[in-house]
Amino acid sequence: MKTLRLHGLKALRVHEEPVPEPRPGETLVRVTSVGLCGSDLHWFMEGGIGDAKLVTPLVLGHEAAGVVAHGEPQGQRVAIDPSVSCGQCEFCLEGNSNFCVAQQFAGQGPTDGALREYMSWPTAYLHPLPKTFSDDDGAMLEPLGVAIHALDLSHLRVGMSVGVFGCGALGLCILQLARIGGAAGLFATDLLPHRLDAARFFGATDVLAAGDGREVREIEAATKGRGLDVVFEVAGNDEAVQAAMAAAKRGGTAVLAGIPDNDRTTFIASVARRRGLTIKLVRRMKHTYPRAIRLVERGLVDVRSLVTHRFPLERGAEAFEVAERREGLRVVVHP
C-alpha cells in the first residue's frame, strides 16, 4: 500500500509499505478521505506541536473516513475517531476521555495517522456512516466533533450573542452550531475575504474583516458597548485571542480552540481580568461522533460545503502547500 510520511520540515514522501495486520479488537479500513487540519500543518511546517516533536517519519491525518476492508461488516463505510483512550485511568472514568493519560491519537507522536491506503484501527472507534453521507462528509465529522465539544464548554444559552474569531472549517462548524443553538447575534471575523463569504453563507448575522482591532470597534458599536456573551477564538494567533477577549462582555466566556505557533498564547491580562472572563481551552473532543452524525444526517449542519480542494495521495505534498496558503476552506486527500 502507499503511505505519505513526514520526514522533516515540509518533507513529505510517498512510500510503499505492507498492509497492516489487524490486532485483536481492530478492523482493517481502506481509507477514502482525509482532511488536512491546522494541527497537521503545525507538524508539516514546524515538525511538531508543543512538546510533541517529530522523532521518526510519521503518517499524518486524523480527520478520516473509510470502508471496512476486512472484518464485519465488510464494505461498511465508517468515520474514524482518531482518539483512542484507555478507559481505565482517572480521567476516563470521570468521563473526560480527552484527558486520558494513555491516549493514542492518529497522526500524533508514535501513532501513524490516516494518510495511507489502509489503516488498522480499534473497532470501537469506527462509526458507521449513513448511506446519504459522502466519504468527505465522514472525514469532516472530526472537526464538527471538536466544534460540538467547544460549544459544550461555552454553555451557550438561547438568545446569547456569539463571536467566532477565525473562519476556517472549525470556526464555520462552531458558527453553524451556535446558529442552531439559538444564538441571537452571530459575529464572524477573519482576515481572508473568501472565509468571510463562507461565514455569511453559513449564517453569520454580522461578518467583519479582522485587523488592527477594527472588528472589536464594530462589535462594540453593534452591541452598544455591551460586548458578546460568548467568544470563540479559532485562528491560533494572539491577535485573534486579544480581539475575542476585547469583544467579550463583562462576565462573558472566551473559548480558545486555535493552536498557536511556538506553543505560546498571550493576551492583555487587564482586559481579561477587569471583565472577569471565564477562559476555557479546547482539548480535542469526547464522545461527540454520534451527535455529529445526527446533526449532519438531519441537515442541521452542512459539512459538505467545507471541502473545497481534493487531491490524490500522490499529490499529498501539493495538498499541504495549498492548505498552508489557506486557500479555500478544507483540503482533503483521497488515498
Give the mean model confidence (pLDDT) for residues 42-67.
94
Mean pLDDT of the chain: 96
Residue 220's nearest CA partner among 159, 163, 158, 154 is: 163
Specify the pairing of strand 26-35 against strand 330-334.
Answer: antiparallel
Q: What is the dihedral of CA 134, 81, 302, 285, to 10 degrees?
A: 180
* Residue 317, all three cell numbers: 505534498
Please check whether residues 131 and 18 belong to one and the same domain: yes
- Lowest mean pLDDT across 69-73, 178-182, 302-306, 321-325: 69-73
Residue 70 in this model has a pLDDT that exceeds 90: no
For 296-314, how does the pLDDT look when each residue is reduced to its tens digit (9 = 90+)?
999 999 999 999 999 999 9
Please check whether residues 118 and 162 belong to one and the same domain: no
Please check whether residues 132 and 178 belong to one and the same domain: no
Q: How remote is the C-alpha of 171 from its chain's centroid?
A: 8
What pLDDT score does 92 carry?
97
Q: How confident is the model at residue 262 (pLDDT cuts 50, 70, 90)?
A: confident
For 131-170, how does the pLDDT look when each residue is reduced to its tens digit (9 = 90+)?
999 999 999 999 999 999 999 999 999 999 999 999 999 9
Residue span of the structural domain in which 228 resides: 144-281
Please check whether residues 153 and 136 belong to one and the same domain: no
In the chain, the number of structural domains is 2
Residue 20's nearest CA partner among 90, 100, 88, 113 is: 113
The C-alpha atoms of residue 151 and residue 174 are separated, in whole angstroms, by 7
The domain that contains 247 carries what CATH number?
Answer: 3.40.50.720
Specify the pairing of strand 248-256 against strand 278-281.
Answer: parallel
Please check whether residues 118 and 160 belong to one and the same domain: no
Please check whether residues 153 and 134 belong to one and the same domain: no
How far apart, in Å, are the Cα atoms of 81 and each of 259, 311, 329?
Answer: 20, 22, 21
Asked if residues 301 and 87 have their Cβ atoms less than 8 Å apart, the reply is no
Locate cell 491525518: which residue? 61
Please check whether residues 42 and 131 belong to one and the same domain: yes
Please check whether residues 114 and 193 belong to one and the same domain: no
In a domain, 288, yes or no: no
